[in-house]
A = this chain, B = another copy of it.
Amino acid sequence: MHIPTPPANVVAWLPDRRGIRVLDQRALPLAETYVDVQTLDELVHAIRTLTVRGAPAIGVAAAMGVAGVYAHERAPGRARLAAIAHAVAEARPTAVNLRWAITRLLDRAAQAPDDELVHALAHEAQCIHGEDVAMCVAIGEAGAALLHPGMCVLTHCNAGALATAGIGTALAPVYVAHARGVPLTVYADETRPLLQGARLTAWELQRAGIPVTVLPDGAAASLLARGVIDAVFVGADRIAANGDTANKVGTYPLALAARAHGVPFHVCAPWSTVDVATRDGAAIEIEQRHRDELAFAGDRRVLPDGVPVYNPAFDVTPRALVTHYITDRGVVTPPFLL
C-alpha cells in the first residue's frame, strides 16, 4: 500500500523534543515560514493567533507543545505542568480536540514516576500525533474507493493536510487516490469570510501536484449545474446522532446544489466527530464570529460603520442531503449509536 506523504509539515519536534516547530498558516500562501515554540507564552500565542489551526492539528500541536515546553522548563515539576496544561487548554475555549489532547496528556502524566515525566509526556504526544496521521490515512483509504480517473471533486474550506498532522480529512481520499496514480481535479470554494479555500486548500493541493481551481462560494451551484463536478467532499465539525452535520458555513447550500444536480455529497471526518449525545442538527449551537471578518478586505474597510452582520461560523447540513459518511472506521450510516 502506498501511503501519501502530507504536503506540509504542520507540527514537528525541535531537537531533543524540547519544543515544537509549527508551520505559520497566517503567512500562507505568501510565504512558507515556521515558528519555533519552546515557552508557554509562545505556545499559547501560536494557538490563539491561528498560527496552527484545524481541530485535529490544534490537538496534536497542543499535546506536543505541552510536552516540548515542559521539557524545556528550567524549573519543572507537577505544579508547573498543571499550570502549563491549564493555560494551553484555555487558549481557544471552543476547541474540543485541544482539551481532549491535554486531558489525555495529564492522565498519562499522572501514571508516570517523577523521573520519567518528560519522557512520558513526549511519548503520549507522539502517540496522539501518530493516531492523527493514521486516522487521516484510514479516511483516505475508505474515500478513495469512490474516486475514479478523471473525476472532478469540489470541496469547501480547508479540511486538508493543513488541518491535521497527516493528509487531512475531506482531502485524504484525494491524496490517497493521487498517490495511486488516479488523475483528479479539485475545485475549491474560496470560503468566505476567512478564505481558507483560497489561502490553504489551494496552497497544499498545488504543492502536492494536484490540479486545483478556486471559485467564489456563490459560483459552486452554477459549476454543479454545468455538470463539471462528479462528487463533493467536505469535512465536519460535529456530526449529530441522526447524521445532521455541522461544518463551515456555506456547506449546506453546497449540499442543496449537489442534490439539485444529482451529484454525490460526502462528509469526511474522524469517528470522534460523531457526537451521539447530540440528537440532531437543531441541538447544535452555532458560534457567531466577529463583525471584522466581513467589515474588512485585507486592510481595507468594506462595510459602512454601524451596519451589523450575520456571521455564523457553521451551518447544518441535514442527513438527507449526505450521500456517504466517510470515517476512520470506514463508511458509516446513521443513526449513530455508542
Contact = CB atoms under 8 A, between A and B. Distances in A.
Contact of A303 (B214, B225, B312): B214
B307 A213 contact: yes
A250 B195 contact: no
Contacts of A301: 29-30
Nearest to A204: B304
B29 A212 contact: no
Interface string A120-135: 0000000000000000
Interface residues of A, number: 56
Nearest to A215: B310
Q: How often does this chain occur in the complex, in copies?
A: 2
Interface in A198-240: 198-199, 202-203, 206, 212-223, 225
B29 A214 contact: no
B206 A310 contact: no
A4 to B, nearest CB: 20
A192 interface: yes
Given A215-B310, A249-B216, A294 B187 contact: no
Interface of A: 29-30, 187, 189-193, 195, 198-199, 202-203, 206, 212-223, 225, 249-253, 256-257, 260, 286, 294-304, 306-312, 315-316
